[in-house]
Structure 1
């Protein structure tokens, strides 16, 4: 349950963009995490677009994303696009355990000296409390990558709220391959705390976000004499993430993704219409895996984005993806 009158704060954004807002929830009745620990005074940072109403479109961000949809998904946000502030009320919040304004891992209870482990279902329950605060009673959900897995958690945790969902480039649960990649990234962070490990983790992740063909097309040759373009690219990506992200958040969110393992039985119980989108060259979440999980849902449609750019194609090579999503959301 949420507090009747939670406190809300605004943070300034560049001109023409909506401000980030922050609300403190669970001020009197705690959020009970799946690990059994209660948490009070959960701070949630979020953005909204369009006029507030009881029906909304909920956007769920990726692992290192944030609630500022206008910054990272411009192809999807705007007049005539899937997320149209002129006709829809759009909500995106930073997830519990993140590092972009919402309560982070260091603020959670500790168990034997370690922050309480979070689950994707915990994040969905915090999101539900935010929607209650905003007066939203029904949502259409759109999630990509980690946000797509979180969309599955919403479908399972909040079936009364979710009218339909779009899941882009995400399976229902992590394979041993995906868990192995995350394990290597977490090992790098723990072996070299203080920033170097996070940079290496990002480099490992970037290799799984693109494809052989994508790097051949975009990172061939050298940008600096004697340094392969791919090397300078990966080093830049590591430095860039270190400047804006938390290693504790990286650990917490990747662990939550790995632990999310809904059964086939649970997936067959999802009744809402779902559009599941695979990416032809995705090596992190192969299209066949995304399609197989979608096939377990009683009311699902599968579509595949044909791109050489791997997992990140939903950001860098959207093609017909926005129109497919727009048509499904407004069917």
Structure 2
């Protein structure tokens, strides 16, 4: 029977068995596990999807508007790969499997994550990639462009700046403070509530969370408690600390961005409060071969997931060159 390459396949591989991955903090790491999904028939060129902060490699579950026959990520035509990032908690090596420095988890960088991802592509026999990344995945795409310029053919960066602003760092600092003040899950719930507010806009919440679903409790209150509970049930607070810290520390210079010479489509979101569209556009303008397009939506940063509009068509056209 011919294998059904269009079906999602989740696998795990152990990398850096002999030669270690040298983290930017100076610590070597052997036996790094990466869990990943592939879609489509294996080949030497692939489309690499980079997931968001609390996302995972199961693209078919969280991005159905983008993955499927006739869509931007088409397994009948392309080889699509998405890995759970190093430092996460969805099957890849997390903070517990990394060195300690002074009794603390060794800090990770987005460049570390990109180097681990490159080792996975080497394992899969992939020699060229088109990258699609949104939110944290978009920032990670910038790291790939700087760390692996020989590998990347073109990139789509959705709802992400090249580096965090004081506003974004401040939000993450407050979230990490909540986790450290109330370890064991309660702080992570508060961190998620803070994040969800930054992922939406006042107009979005007015349209979707007005009134009360439970008598005496505003709908937005119930919604935020629900979101906090959901994340605490599936995510690791050490991963949240590690990945937000890696995002905050990623601060490429203008000169580094000007050194990127592959085509890039940068997508801003008109109502994004976390990463304002003007910020996304300004960073993309530093790339010599970039184009910018703006998704019009009231739903803030999360619009790429919940109100994609023309985004799939724009991305498909760009990926096809």
Task: Tell me the TM-score range normalised by the shorter chain.
Answer: over 0.9
Instruction: State the alpha-carbon separation in 2 of the partners of residues 201 and 27 from structure 1.
Output: 35
In 2, distance between residues paired with 1:126 and 1:22? 13
Distance 1:128 1:53 in 2: 15
Mapped partners of 2:10, 2:174: distance in 1: 34
Q: 1:238 aligns with which of 222, 228, 239?
A: 228
Residues 91-143 of structure 1, C-alpha deviation per residue, up to 9 Å, x if partnerless?
A: 00000000000000011010001111000000000000000000000000000
Question: Are 2:321 and 1:327 aligned?
Answer: no
Distance 1:84 1:244 in 2: 29
Quote how far apart the aligned CAs of 1:305 are.
0.2
The secondary structure found in structure 2 opposite 1:304 is: strand
Any idea what SS the aligned residue of 1:288 has?
Answer: helix
Superposed displacement of residue 68, structure 1: 0.3
Structure 2 residue 212 is matched with structure 1 residue 226: no
Aligned to 1:250: 240
Quote the residue 1:145 is aligned against.
135
Aligned mates of 1:230, 1:46 — CA distance in 2: 35
The answer to whether the 8 A contact 2:46-2:79 is kept is: yes
Query: Could you tell me whether the CA contact under 8 Å between 1:279 and 1:313 is conserved in 2?
Result: yes
The one of 15, 37, 46 aligned to 2:36: 46
1:138-287 equivalences under 5 Å are 138-287=128-277
Moved over 4 A (4+): none
Once residues 114 and 239 of structure 1 are traced to their aligned partners in structure 2, the CA distance between those partners, rounded to angstroms, is 26
Q: Which residue of 1 aligns with 2:283?
A: 293
Alpha-carbon distance in structure 1 between the residues aligned to 2:11 and 2:105? 26
Give the equivalent residue in structure 1 for 2:92.
102
CA distance in 2, matches of 1:110, 1:217: 46
1:19 deviates by: 3.1
Shift of 1:20: 1.4
Per-residue CA distance 1:200-247 (angstroms, 9 max, x = gap) = 000000000000000000000000000000000000000000111000
Within the candidate set 67, 75, 87, 1:85 is matched to 75
Tell me the alpha carbon deviations over residues 255-305 of structure 1, each in whole angstroms, 9 at most, x when there is no partner.
Answer: 000000000000000000000000000000000000000000000000000
Q: TM-score, normalised by structure 2?
A: 0.98
Match among 305, 308, 317 for residue 318 of structure 1: 308
Counterparts of residues 62-73 of structure 1 (less than 5 Å): 62-73=52-63
Partners in 2 of 1:223 and 1:290 — Cα distance?
36
Distance in 2 of aligned mates of 1:276 and 1:134? 28
* Alpha-carbon distance in structure 1 between the residues aligned to 2:186 and 2:72: 38
Shift of 1:17: 4.8
Gaps of 5+ in 1: 1-15
> Residues of 1 paired with 2:308 and 2:9: CA distance?
27
Is the 1:17–1:70 Cα contact (8 Å) retained in structure 2? no
Q: Supply the distance in 1 between the matched residues of 2:7 and 2:197 (Cα, whole angstroms).
A: 32
Which residue of structure 1 aligns with residue 299 of structure 2? Answer: 309
